């Protein structure tokens, strides 16, 4: 996807969560507008946009619109299952970050946006950051091994595990560390892997996880 192309009419799903590229997002969908959105995305094989809620609720009310953060992540539906009538269980995966240029609410209440895809992370450079990355990758490897041992079906990450990729490692740690949502949003927005590695490394040092 070209970083200069603008995506028109991207259906938006504002949530109390932050989705990162390559992140997994299991969702239970029951609202009519999101059921329609998911069916269309599956039919057309198109992504939807996930944004952290800035204000308002996940279930929008007429007098309280859902306001999304300006930077979000595109999501592609990988698996879909019908649990009960009127409810879809989907498993989506983050692909590329985007910046909302504008958005509007359709008659159904579904938010639709014009989005500009953001470029991939600036690569990691410098011996100090490479050392911090190595330490972060080791912690993540331990986390994955612990979860696998305890409950292999509950792994919050999709394979393949890219433990040699600073973007993948910093994104996965940003997801699993107990960080406040607004801070997680800021981490997702950072344009280079080095800055994200620096922040998560500092956090883990502070909390004696290294």
Last residue within a domain, chosen from 96, 117, 138: 117
Which residue has tokens 């989005």? 115
Q: What is the pTM of this model?
A: 0.91
Question: For the segment 71-83, what is each residue's pLDDT rounded down to a tens digit?
Answer: 999 999 998 998 7
Same-domain pairing of 154 and 73: no
Residue 109 to residue 42: CA distance in whole angstroms: 20
Long-range contacts at 99-105 (CB < 8 A, ≥ 24 apart):
99/70, 99/71, 100/12, 100/49, 100/51, 100/68, 100/70, 100/71, 100/72, 101/6, 103/12, 103/68, 105/60, 105/65
**Does 160 sit behind a cis peptide bond, omega within 30 degrees of 0 on the bond before it?**
yes
Residue 172 to residue 23: CA distance in whole angstroms: 7
* Domain tally, the chain: 2
Query: Closest Cα partner for 155 from 19, 24, 15, 28?
Result: 24
For residue 137, give its domain range: 127-206
Task: Work out the pLDDT band at 62, boundaries 50, 70, 90.
Answer: low
Question: For the segment 75-108, what is each residue's pLDDT rounded down to a tens digit?
Answer: 999 989 987 777 899 999 999 999 999 999 998 8
Same-domain pairing of 105 and 168: no
**Does residue 2 form part of some domain?**
no
The domain that holds 24 is classified in CATH as 2.30.130.40
Last residue within a domain, chosen from 117, 146, 172: 117
Query: Closest Cα partner for 134 from 157, 175, 164?
Result: 164
Residue 73 to residue 49: CA distance in whole angstroms: 6
Judge contact between 21 and 73, C-beta under 8 A: yes
Give me the pLDDT at residue 58, please. 66
More confident residue, 2 or 135: 135
Which residue has tokens 């269309």? 40
Task: Work out the pLDDT band at 131, boundaries 50, 70, 90.
Answer: very high
Same-domain pairing of 108 and 148: no
Indicate if the pLDDT at residue 40 is higher than 50: yes
Indicate if the pLDDT at residue 22 is higher than 90: yes
Judge contact between 96 and 21, C-beta under 8 A: yes
């Amino acid at each position: 996807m070209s970083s200069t192309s603008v995506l028109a009419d991207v259906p938006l799903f504002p949530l109390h969560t932050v989705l990162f590229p390559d992140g997994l997002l299991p969702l239970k969908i029951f609202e009519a507008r999101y059921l329609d959105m998911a069916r269309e995305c599956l039919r057309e094989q198109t992504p939807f946009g996930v944004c952290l809620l800035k204000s308002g609720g996940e279930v929008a009310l007429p007098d309280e619109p859902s306001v999304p953060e300006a930077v979000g992540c595109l999501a592609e539906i990988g698996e879909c299952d019908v649990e009960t009538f009127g409810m879809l269980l989907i498993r989506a995966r983050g692909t590329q970050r985007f910046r909302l240029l504008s958005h509007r609410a359709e008659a159904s209440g579904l938010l639709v946006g014009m989005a500009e895809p953001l470029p991939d992370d600036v690569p990691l450079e410098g011996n100090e950051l490479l050392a911090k990355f190595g330490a972060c990758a080791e912690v993540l490897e331990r986390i994955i091994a612990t979860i696998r041992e305890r409950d292999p079906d509950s792994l919050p990450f999709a394979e393949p595990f890219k433990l040699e990729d600073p973007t993948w490692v910093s994104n996965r740690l940003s997801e699993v560390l107990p960080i406040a949502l607004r801070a997680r949003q800021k981490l997702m927005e950072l344009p280079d892997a080095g800055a994200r590695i620096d922040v998560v490394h500092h956090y883990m040092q502070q909390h004696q996880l290294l």
